[in-house]
Amino acid sequence: MARDFSWIRPEPWGIHVVPADCWIDPSRPVDRALVTHGHADHARGGHGSTFATPETLAIMKLRYATEAGAVPVPYGERIALPGGVAATWIPAGHVLGSAQILLEHAGERIVVTGDFKRRPDPTCPPFEVTPCDVLITEATFGLPVFRHPPVEQEIAKLLSALAANPERCVLVGAYALGKAQRLIAELRRAGHRDTIWLHGAMERMCRLYEDWGIDLGPLRLVSEAGKGELAGAIIVAPPSALNDRWSRRLPDPITAMASGWMQVRQRARQRMVELPLVISDHADWNELTQTVVEVNPAETWITHGREEAMLRWCQLNQRKARALALVGYEDEDD
Amino acid sequence: MEEFAALLDALVYTRSRNAKLKLLADYLRSTPDPDRGWALAALTDGLDFPAVKSSTIRNLLMERIDPVLWTLSREYVGDSAETASLLWPEPTEAPSPPTVAEAVDALSRMTRATVMAELPRLLDRLDGNGRYALLKLATGAMRIGISARLAKTAFAQAFDVSVEDVEEHWHGQAPPYTALFDWAAHGAEPPNADDIPLFRPFMLAHGLEDTQVDLADYAAEWKWDGIRVQVVRAGGATRVYSRSGDDISATFPEIAEALHIDAVLDGELLVRGAHQGGEEGGAASFNALQQRLGRKTVSKKMREEYPAFVRLYDALIVEGKDLRPRPWSERRMALEALVPQLDPARFDLSAVIAAADFAELSAIRERARDDAIEGVMLKRRDSPYVAGRRTGLWYKWKRDPLLVDCVLMYAQRGSGKRSSFYSDYTFGCWDGDPDEGADLLPVGKAYFGFTDEELKWLDRYVRNHTVNRFGPVRETDRSLVFEVAFDSVHVSKRHKSGVAMRFPRISRIRTDKPAHEADRMDTLRKLIRD
Ligand SMILES: [Zn+2]
Ligand SMILES: [Zn+2]
């Protein structure tokens, strides 16, 4: 009998685990939500109960100030859900607390990757390849033009721009959850010991990372900077602040942005970026296709991103695949 | 090639003109010959490799990647060269990039038969940025906002020479411009150009503003509303150059064909037409001339419908004699002696205005309603012909501009010091009675804000009145009135409003005027002179 995996049903507003009546990363309030990670397009408030890693729940608490119904599930712990479904949260390597969710039912295994990457990241445990029958994967950077360079190369680019312009500062736009902290941690790993200055919107999330044991070194707020203190410094701000009035207070900033989209010149120019840093928290084309090969599922379902090219690749490689028309996922500024 | 690739990337991401100049100047100073010359030629579209086309890149990639994946990638990236540079397999060993000169040499040897085998060999020696630079260089489609003028200015800055000298010596030189670099960087004699129809930089005028001059010292002549050109004949060849030094001979072949005396002449290119310039015998308005501009080739029909001629202002060189150091009055005599020897269909003399004094000149200027007249020029009778703008020698005294009140529709960030302010504006006039539901039609675009206070005020206004955002553009709630000055207005099929202003500029912010009282399209249409 051909398997149809009908116990899991993608709907436009989330993936429905039918026997357990749970939803994965739903974009509307539900009774029971299984959340992969804390980014706003995956984790929303208002659910009856929310199953996620303790780190993700802490992030959600910070963002939505709600704790009701939080069910922490540490990485690797297999929990029983109603209807004979078991669920396990497995590291996805995307941001602090990010997980793939393995669902088991009636002898079938389905993995929902959420967002993921395969590169090492000092702020979260690495992606684990998990064999399964259906791999439900993202494809944010699912085009063969996306080949993210080694992060060390991009960090070196940032530090040399800083060294070459001692009178100026480098203002880096980075997504407030994940990218900002990874960038700071990578700068520390590269030996940069100076104070890194934060836009106000970055502060609480950085503190949260520190509470979870990730050392980010000396951090201060731009609003507390004395005259002249910002020259020769790195400032981290959300991408929306780059060309905002807020940035006018800075000493002749070099506008940088840390994002996988920076690989395409036109995208960087649209953002008025002078120093594009190709640093992504998502899998690039090679990582996506390599993951499908390694996991080797019977079927590959694609949640969001550039699914057309991934579908084509699966077709060329005789792999069964389909695109799910999920709504509400965005191209994060990753 | 790495340095050139790095320069290209830096230029792509740099917005300010000054920063671009500095990047270019640094590159020109620090890069050896002949690489810097080839790079300069590449940046100013001076290179052509017939064997390498945009389709070559596509065909090359089709041999290596699934066509569907190529198309999806190309559509997303938006540029074939960049897409190919990103898709090309990374070299397996450390890249050994060619120099720019090596790349140019290899590219110029390629034929359509060999390109598919030879180009990959170059690409395999480069990293991603290098591949991008190579493919841009090979296809000649840089599009990174480096005009010839910007490149020359950077060259002048790099070697501390005057940009006018660069203009003069640049012409007639071929890439990699070794003689030019020898002159500027190593103090050699400038390249010899007696037998080449070279462009000589124009002498320019300051606005008269409130100055009054004594007509005993200054001659007055009409300023015609065409395009300023220089016609040069030397070594048996004739060229027509635009004000920026671009060779536009192919656009106006009847002019190039008509000069048979070795000379360098300065004048206004005009088109004969129904809007006669009165007694002088017929110049059409600028709009008629516009039909002829920007064409690489020109049909017989075009030549007959819009015949071009040059109204001469000045003679720089006549039969080998350089008159530039001589006073204007002497050059004028030489010019008057020359014109009768020229083809009257193609050349005439811009008349000197006979006025006893400044008051009379002012009155003559007021009465001038000829469409081909843009204003009056005042030239010091003893002025030599010097490149650029020199205080006190030449003045232009334009006719009073026309004014309309327009409503701000869209705003965009400016450039340079205006780059963090919404300071570029699109404005419109009402297409009927706004109280009857008429809409605004955009009629022009200009920037405004010369003081920090104005910039800030306008920026705040735009932010507080934004109703829509399209990428970098904000649409406002159409509440602010600008007084817009312009030189003339013309019928235009390219604009939705059907009219185009020439030289629009915002002269005042009319906070005192409600938007619905701004001018209507009718007002603007009545001012059309075609
Ligand atoms: Zn995410
Ligand atoms: Zn996502």
Q: How far lies B464's CA from each of A91, B151, B423, B477, in Å?
A: 45, 40, 14, 9
Q: Are A78 and A126 in a shared domain?
A: yes
| Final residue of a structural domain among B383, B398, B413 | B398
Domain span including residue B363: 203-398
**B50 φ/ψ angles, rounded to the nearest 5 degrees:** -60, -25
- Which strands, in side-by-side order, build the sheet including A253-258? A219-221, A196-198, A234-237, A169-173, A253-258, A275-277
- Phi (first) and psi of residue B122, to 5 degrees: -70, -45
- Nearest-angstrom CA–CA distance, B337 and B340: 7
CATH of the domain at A82: 3.60.15.10
Identify whether residues B390 and B513 lie together within a single domain: no
DSSP tag of B340: G
- The token duo for B270 is 């005009």
Q: Is residue A332 part of a domain?
A: no
**Residues, chain A, total?**
334
Is A76 among the domain residues?
Answer: yes
Whether A46 and A116 share a structural domain: yes
By the CB < 8 Å criterion, does A269 face chain B? yes
A115 and A39 Cβ atoms separated by less than 8 Å: yes
Contact: A266, B79; criterion CB under 8 Å? yes
Answer yes or no: do A163 and A119 share one domain: no
We report the CATH number of the domain holding residue B219 as 3.30.470.30
- Domains held by chain A: number: 2
Give helix A307-316 / helix A285-295 axis angle, nearest 10°: 50
Q: Are residues B407 and B350 in the same domain?
A: no
Supply A118's token pair.
Answer: 């395969």
For residue B377, is it within any domain? yes
In a domain? residue B487: yes
* Ligand 1 centroid – CA A205 distance (Å): 15
Q: Ligand 2 center to residue A37 CA distance, Å?
A: 9
Q: Tell me whether residues B69 and A144 touch, CB distance under 8 A.
A: yes
Averaged pLDDT for residues A296-303: 95
B residues 463..482 contacting A (CB < 8 A): 471-472
CATH number of residue B449's parent domain: 2.40.50.140
HSE toward the beta carbon, residue B431, CA cutoff 13 A: 12
Peptide bond into B34 cis (omega under 30): yes
All residues of chain B having their beta carbon less than 8 Å from the beta carbon of residue A248 are 420
Q: Is residue A159 part of a domain?
A: yes
Is there a cis peptide before residue B176, judged by omega within 30 degrees of 0?
yes
Phi-psi region of A161 (alpha: psi -120 to 50; beta: other; left: phi over 0): alpha
Residues B329 and B270 reside in one and the same domain: yes
Joined together, the tokens standing for residue B73 give 């990638």
A1 assigned to some structural domain: no
Domain count, chain B: 3
Co-location of B412 and B370 in the same domain: no
At CA B309, angle to CA B308 and CA B314, rounded to 5? Answer: 145
Which of B13, B458, B473 has the highest number of chain A CBs within 10 A, making it the mutation to test binding with A?
B13
Q: Please tell me if residue B6 touches chain A, with a CB cutoff of 8 Å.
A: no
Q: Cα–Cα distance between B404 and A213 in angstroms, integer?
A: 65
pLDDT tens-digit profile of A66-115? 678 999 999 999 999 999 999 999 999 999 999 999 999 999 999 999 99
One domain, residues B379 and B435: no
The Cα B80–Cα B73 span in angstroms is 9
DSSP 8-state code for residue A224: G
Q: Do B76 and A145 touch (CB under 8 A)?
A: yes
Which tokens sit at A127?
A: 């992606």
Cβ within 8 Å, pair A274-B87? no
Nearest Cβ partner for B66 among A143, A265, A312: A312
Establish if B359 touches chain A: CB-CB under 8 angstroms. Answer: no
- Residues B500, B406: one domain? yes
Last residue of a domain, one of B398, B414, B437: B398
- In this predicted structure, what is the pLDDT of residue B75? 92
- In chain B, whose CA is at the least distance from the CA of A285? B87
pLDDT in tens, A278-294: 999 999 999 999 999 99
Cα–Cα distance between A196 and A235 in angstroms, integer?
6
What are B207's strand-pairing partners?
Answer: B396
Q: How many A from CA of A258 to the centre of ligand 1? A: 15
The closest alpha carbon to A186, from A210, A219, A155, belongs to A155
Is B289 within a domain?
A: yes
For residue B8, the model assigns a pLDDT of: 93
A-B Cβ pairs (cutoff 8 Å, strict):
63
Looking at the structure, do residues B394 and B424 belong to the same domain, yes or no? no
Chain A nearest C-alpha distance from B317 (Å): 47
Q: Are residues B351 and B207 part of one domain?
A: yes
Contact B420 A313 (CB under 8 A): no
The model carries a pTM of 0.71
A135 CA from centroid of ligand 1 (Å): 17
Query: Do A190 and A182 contact (CB within 8 A), yes or no?
Result: no
Q: Are residues B287 and B373 in the same domain?
A: yes
How far is B40 from chain A, CA to nearest CA, in Å? 22
- Residue A277 gets the label, from left (phi > 0), alpha (psi -120 to 50) or beta, of beta
What does R_g of chain A's alpha carbons equal in angstroms? 20
Residues A159 and A103 in one domain: no
Tell me if A330 is assigned to some domain: no
Among B22, B223, B296, B417, the one annotated catalytic: B223
From the list B440, B438, B418, the residue with the least C-alpha distance to B429 is B440
What's the B70 CA to ligand 2 centre distance in angstroms?
A: 25
- Residue A255 and residue B490: Cα distance in Å, rounded? 42
Test B83 with A145 for CB contact under 8 angstroms.
Answer: yes
Residues A92 and A60 in one domain: yes
Residue of chain B nearest A266, judged by CA positions: B77
What is the CATH number for B105?
1.10.3260.10
> How are beta strands A85-91 and A49-52 bridged, if at all?
unpaired
Ligand nearest to the CA of A331: 2
Say yes or no for a CB contact (<8 Å) between A145 and B66.
no
Vertex A171: Cα angle to A170 and A175 (nearest 5) = 135
If asked whether residues B207 and B326 sit together in one domain, one would say yes
Q: Are B462 and B394 in the same domain?
A: no
Identify which of B171, B268, B288 has the alpha carbon closest to the alpha carbon of residue B224.
B268
Residue with tokens 């980014």: A39
The yes-or-no answer on residue B223 being catalytic is yes
The DSSP output letter for B520 is: B
B contact test, residue of A154, A265, A285 with most B CBs within 10 A: A265
Distance CA(B337)–CA(B323), nearest Å, equals 14
Position A193 in a domain: yes
Enumerate the residues of chain B whose CB falls inside 8 A of the CB of residue A309: 68-69, 72-73
Determine the structural domain holding residue A54 and report its residue range. Answer: 8-145+282-323
Do A92 and A192 share a domain, yes or no? no
From B139, B155, B184, the end of a domain falls on: B139
Same domain, A12 and A140: yes
In-domain check, residue B173: no
In a domain, B166, yes or no: no
Chain B residue nearest residue A248, CA to CA? B420
Question: Cα(A329)–Cα(A303) distance, rounded to whole angstroms?
Answer: 9
Q: Does the beta-carbon distance from A272 to B15 stay under 8 Å?
A: yes
Q: Quick one: A159 and A268 in the same domain?
A: yes
The answer to whether position A2 is within a domain reads no
A140-174 residue pLDDT tens = 999 999 999 999 999 999 999 999 999 999 999 99
Same domain, A15 and A136: yes
3-state SS class at B269: strand
Chain B partners of A316 at a C-beta cutoff of 8 Å? Answer: 66
Structure confidence at residue A329 (pLDDT): 63
- Contact status of A321 with chain B (Cβ, < 8 Å): no
Q: Domain check: are A225 and A312 in the same one?
A: no
8 A C-beta contact, residue B502 and residue B488: yes
Which chain A residues are closer than 8 Å to B413 by Cβ? 243
Q: Looking at residue A186, which CATH number applies to its domain? A: 3.40.50.12650
Among candidate residues A186, A197, A211, A299, the one with its CA nearest the CA of residue A247: A197
Burial of B189 (0-12, 13-18, 19+ CB in 10 A): exposed
For the segment A31-48, the average pLDDT, to the nearest whole number, is 93
Instruction: Please list every residue in chain B whose beta carbon sits closer than 8 Å to the beta carbon of residue A247.
Output: 420
Same-domain status, A179 and A222 = yes
Q: Are residues B486 and B377 both part of a single domain?
A: no
Of A263, A266, A270, the CB nearest to B86: A263
The residues near A230 (Cβ < 8 Å, ≥ 6 apart) are A169, A197, A222, A250, A251
**Residue A39 pLDDT grade (very low, low, confident, very high; cuts 50, 70, 90):** very high
d(C-alpha A236, C-alpha A199), whole Å: 6
The whole-angstrom separation of Cα B444 and Cα B524 is 12
User: Tens place of pLDDT for every residue, chain B, 530 residues?
Assistant: 999 999 999 998 887 778 889 999 999 999 999 999 999 999 987 788 999 988 999 999 999 999 999 999 999 998 899 999 999 998 888 879 999 999 999 999 999 999 999 999 999 999 999 999 999 999 887 767 677 778 888 999 999 998 888 888 887 788 999 999 999 999 998 887 777 888 888 998 887 866 788 899 999 999 887 889 999 999 889 999 987 778 899 999 999 999 999 999 999 999 887 554 444 456 776 667 777 876 778 888 888 888 999 999 999 999 989 999 999 999 999 999 999 999 999 999 998 998 888 888 888 887 776 666 778 999 999 999 998 878 889 998 876 667 888 999 999 988 777 778 898 999 999 988 776 667 889 999 988 866 777 888 889 889 888 877 778 889 888 889 898 988 888 888 878 888 888 888 887 787 767 788 788 898 888 888 65
- ipTM value, please give it: 0.94
Q: Residues A13, A60: one domain?
A: yes
All residues of chain B having their beta carbon less than 8 Å from the beta carbon of residue A308 are 72
Please give the residue that has the higher pLDDT: either B171 or A198.
A198
Does A270 sit within 8 Å of B413, measured CB to CB?
no
Q: In chain B, which residue's Cα lies nearest the Cα of A147?
A: B86
Residue A154, SS3? helix
